[in-house]
Chain A
Amino acid sequence: MKYVRLVRLLLKQNFLRELNFRGNFFLAVGTNALWFLIAIIFFGAIYLQSPSIGGWSMDETLMLLSVSEIVHLLYKGLLGKGVSRIPDLVRTGRLDHLLLKPVDSQFLVSFYRVDYYSLISLIFPLALFFRSLERLTISLTVGQIFAALALIFGSVFILYSVSLFIVSLSFWLTQVYALHALFQEVFSLSNYPESIYSGLLRIAFTFVFPIVIIANYPASFILHKHIGVLWLPVLFAVCVWGLLARRLWFYGLRHYSGASS
Chain B
Amino acid sequence: MGWRKYFLVARLSMREASAYRVNHVVSFIVVAAPLIIVLLLWETIYDQQQKIAGLTRSQVLTYFILTRWLFELTGPAVWWEITSDIRDGTLAAHLLRPEDYQAYQFASIIGAKLPYAVVGLIVIFPFALFIGEAFLIPDSGLVWGGFLLSIALAMMMGYLFTYLFSLTAFWLEEGRGVELLADIAIPFAMGSMLPLSFLPDAWEKFLSYLPFQYLLYFPVNIYLEKLTREQVLLGLAVQIIWIGALLLINKVVWDMGLRRFSAVGG
Contacts and interface: CB of A to CB of B under 8 A. Distances in A.
Interface of A: 24, 27, 30-31, 34-35, 38, 41-42, 45-46, 48-50, 52-54, 175, 178-179, 182-183, 185-186, 189, 192-193, 195-197, 201, 205, 209, 211
Contacts of B256: none
Contacts of B34: 182, 185-186, 189
B188 A186 contact: no
Given A27-B177, A30-B180, A182-B27, A38 B43 contact: no
Contacts of B200: 45, 48
A183 B30 contact: yes
Interface string B24-44: 001100110110111011011
Contact of A31 (B23, B30, B52, B180): B180
A25 to B, nearest CB: 12
A189 B37 contact: yes
For the complex, would chain B's binding face be called helix, strand, loop or mixed by DSSP majority? helix
A52 B48 CA distance: 9
A211 B47 CA distance: 22
User: Top 8 closest A-B pairs, CB basis?
Assistant: A182-B30, A54-B44, A196-B44, A196-B40, A45-B198, A49-B52, A189-B37, A186-B33
Given A34-B180, A185-B34, 11 more contacts: A31-B180, A45-B200, A46-B45, A54-B44, A178-B27, A179-B27, A182-B30, A192-B40, A197-B40, A205-B37, A211-B37
For the complex, would chain A's binding face be called helix, strand, loop or mixed by DSSP majority? helix
Contacts of B43: 196
Given A192-B37, A196-B44, A175 B23 contact: yes
Contacts of B37: 186, 189, 192, 196, 205, 211
A49 B53 contact: yes
Contacts of A52: 48
B184 A192 contact: no
Interface in B24-77: 26-27, 30-31, 33-34, 36-38, 40-41, 43-45, 47-49, 52-53
Contacts of A195: 44
B193 interface: yes
Nearest to A38: B188
A24 B38 CA distance: 32
Contact of B40 (A42, A50, A175, A201): A201
B175 to A, nearest CB: 11
Contacts of B27: 178-179, 182
B194 interface: yes
Interface centre among A52, A54, A195 (most CB of B within 10 A): A54
Nearest to B195: A45
A245 B194 CA distance: 35
B198 A46 contact: yes
Contacts of B210: none
A180 B174 CA distance: 24
Contacts of B40: 192, 196-197, 201
A175 B48 CA distance: 43
Contacts of A41: 188, 199
A46 B194 contact: yes
A53 B184 contact: no
Interface in B85-121: none
Interface in B146-187: 176-177, 180, 184-185
